[in-house]
Chain A
């Protein structure tokens, strides 16, 4: 139950980060040699959830985490070129991603709200 909430929380964080990346891409639509940014998260999360049974214990901050460590979203640059000035932003693609991310965010927040409603029902016992 609480694990669901934390997974949804992480996914919402990733969605916000993705929105920032898309806004950044759209802002730099005419910047020469700008390469679009992309947020990688869902693939990581899927892997994490699949291998959650085997967890390596961390006794030092320099240890490499194995297994169910918190999947952190990260930003990568796409080495593509769309315009003659070396800019790689595809406006239609970015607008599509903006819409997809918005729908995804609404889905996640609805799901999170439902999780809290379940908790509330359990607490009130009616």
Chain B
């Protein structure tokens, strides 16, 4: 446990939170992208992306033995794609419409994304606050004995 551990923990959460907000922005920007990926000569709509996080420095077995499961912050492990079905929309004039006149739209729900964005933003603010408190504590420690 070093002197700057509180700051490192908050910092990892800030990085992960920024990543989360990047992904949400990508989802919102691609909410109507019908050509996300070319598979076997056929365009597939954009799939909603999600961020997976886990506590960083997941404790090895030796730490469990020593009962030293410390706090190490958080890290993004991978970005997964939401496998829920695409939304069919009737629009025969659309260049990507199938023979029945339906276009497959991405499985992005703007309302959901906005809610996620707000919660990610609040979490980021909370981490900034935690960071600032950690900084104040470290600076106050310099005044001990003055």
Instruction: Please list the residues of chain A having a beta carbon within 8 angstroms of any beta carbon in chain B.
Output: 90-93, 95-96, 99-100, 103, 106-107, 110
Provide a sorted-by-A list of 10 A–B residue pairs whose CB atoms are within 8 angstroms: A92-B14, A93-B11, A96-B11, A96-B14, A96-B131, A99-B7, A99-B135, A100-B7, A103-B4, A106-B139
Q: A92-B14, A99-B7 are in contact. List 9 more A-B contacts (CB 8 A).
A: A92-B15, A95-B14, A96-B7, A96-B131, A99-B135, A100-B4, A100-B7, A103-B142, A106-B139
- Chain A residues touching B, majority SS: helix
CB of B8 closer than 8 Å to a CB of A: yes
Bound complex: CA A88 to CA B139 (Å): 30
- Chain B residues touching A, majority SS: helix
- Cβ-neighbour of B138 out of A93, A95, A103 (below 8 A): A103
Bound complex: CA A53 to CA B139 (Å): 35
- Cβ-neighbour of A103 out of B8, B10, B11, B139 (below 8 A): B139
CB distance from A99 to the nearest CB of B (A): 5
CB distance from B132 to the nearest CB of A (A): 9
Bound complex: CA A106 to CA B8 (Å): 18
CB-based closest 10 A-B pairs: A96-B11, A92-B14, A92-B15, A100-B4, A103-B138, A99-B135, A96-B7, A90-B15, A100-B7, A92-B11
Bound complex: CA A99 to CA B130 (Å): 13
